[in-house]
Structure 1
Amino acid sequence: MDDTTARERLESMLAELDRSIGVLRGDPVPVADRSAADAGSDLTDSDRAQAMLTVATTHRSAIVAALKRLEEGTYGDCVDCGRPVPEGRLEARPEAARCVQCQAKQERRR
């Protein structure tokens, strides 16, 4: 993937994530009369929103890091071993920082 295409895709992904994060951070609409079931449902929704916010924020960080690698001229190189990240991987995940082998090692460490 050429740098221009990568930048466009990453910036589009970043804008979409920023919109999603804004929605997830929005204040809930107060409701005067709520039953205990409604309160429990709100808590579950709040927990779900917090989990989604955590994932979105982590993904946003990966995209910002990829844009920085583009600026530095290292985009497409594995951050661990320095080998090229396969084109197909970058097509599927433009924010990918590692080659398949290094990503697998990273995931095994978790």
Structure 2
Amino acid sequence: MLADLDRSIGVIQGDPVAVREHSAADAGSDLTDADRARAMLTVATTQRQAIVEAIRRIEEGAYGRCVDCERTVPEGRLEARPEAARCVQCQGKRERRR
């Protein structure tokens, strides 16, 4: 997962190969594309950080335990979201606070 995210981040951050002239419509489209790329980069970077933290928890022997309540994170949750740091209850509380 980490290698895939690193490749995706690299593609999103890639510099344009050529500079082209823009019409007014192209400029608006490019702004939308830039906003979309920025949003994708934010999501990918956040997910990458979660994976790095999960790897750290594996190395420390804490993987599979909720970082808030220390209860066991259900196996099904870890299968669906291997980077999950919290049990469903604690994750729900965290999301409601936002």
- State the TM-score, normalized to the length of structure 2: 0.96
Q: Which runs of 4+ in 1 moved over 2 A?
A: 28-33
Q: Which of 23, 29, 38 is the equivalent residue of 1:41?
A: 29
RMSD over aligned CA atoms reads 0.9
Compute the displacement of 1:33 (Å): 2.5
Could you tell me which residue of structure 2 aligns to residue 107 of structure 1?
A: 95
1: CA distance between counterparts of 2:87 and 2:97? 16
Could you tell me which residue of structure 2 aligns to residue 66 of structure 1?
A: 54
Identity %: 79
Alignment of 1:1-110 (within 5 A): 13-110=1-98
Name structure 2 gaps, 5 residues minimum: none
- How many pairs align? 98
Name structure 1 gaps, 5 residues minimum: 1-12
- State the TM-score, normalized to the length of structure 1: 0.86
